[in-house]
Structure 1
């Protein structure tokens, strides 16, 4: 980060795009994890189009037998996986759950948001647990102009992700999650 900061230039204006929403009653348990998907064009063609991500939010509504054992992973179209909720041993809540709770990650910075996103819901528990997810809304925050304009990108082993993402945008390569 220090190497990159020496020559860093500010990025352009930030835009917000509601990429999609999943509504319903989706059950999950310690025996059966769950993967939900949202396919998005990142508001392509609209004034709030997002071409390069800065951060991503997942607003989640769910209830479970033990909230502290629920873990959430967000997987981008480029297959970047970010744990957006980890196990919390002291969180024994079983009534309120999460109500439109905003989870955020910056792990997908500068990636192309277009494609299929995955929300992976898992119980991290040896005891039997069960839950229901009612809502997942995906919100994209980013820029329309490349954050690489004027940036020196060193694609050595010290900064490989920045180089891969820059190349993906320049060449139009579309990476997909492998199941």
Structure 2
């Protein structure tokens, strides 16, 4: 996933991606208290392998929200772009891997 956004402080942004089947919610970005940059995020890659072994077909939902901290009240921003790219393999990457639990 790649996002771009403009805000008064990019450190307030938090985001999740949700896979409705099986309903796995993955936190991609946490608020960063010491990040007071006003540059925003430009084509920031957010990566997760939490959905390995799942069929990517179906509905995906992206959530982004601002969370104030450091007594700052104005945390408005504008999400300007979201791109979801799903990579996969022909063979099951979890097959015969004793170190990774397969989703049921």
TM-score class, shorter: 0.7 to 0.9
- Is residue 2:98 matched to residue 1:128? no
Q: Give the aligned partner of residue 3 of structure 2.
A: 60
Quote the Cα distance in structure 1 between the aligned partners of 2:97 and 2:48.
24
Residue in 2 that maps onto 1:84: 28
Q: CA deviation at 1:147?
A: 3.3
Q: 1:18-167 to 2 correspondence within 5 Å?
A: 58-78=1-21, 79-94=23-38, 96-125=39-68, 127-147=73-93, 149=95, 151=96, 159=101, 162-164=102-104
Q: CA RMSD in A?
A: 1.9
Q: Structure 1 residue runs of 4+, over 2 Å off?
A: 144-149
> Which residue of the partner structure matches residue 47 of structure 1?
none
Bigger Rg, structure 1 or 2: 1
Question: Given the superposition, is the C-alpha separation of residues 92 and 141 from structure 1 closer, same or farther in structure 2, using an over 3 Å criterion?
Answer: same
TM-score of the two chains, using structure 2 as the length reference:
0.82
Deviations 1:25-58 (A, max 9, x none): xxxxxxxxxxxxxxxxxxxxxxxxxxxxxxxxx1
Aligned residues: 98
- Cα distance in 2 for partners of 1:65, 1:152 equals 45
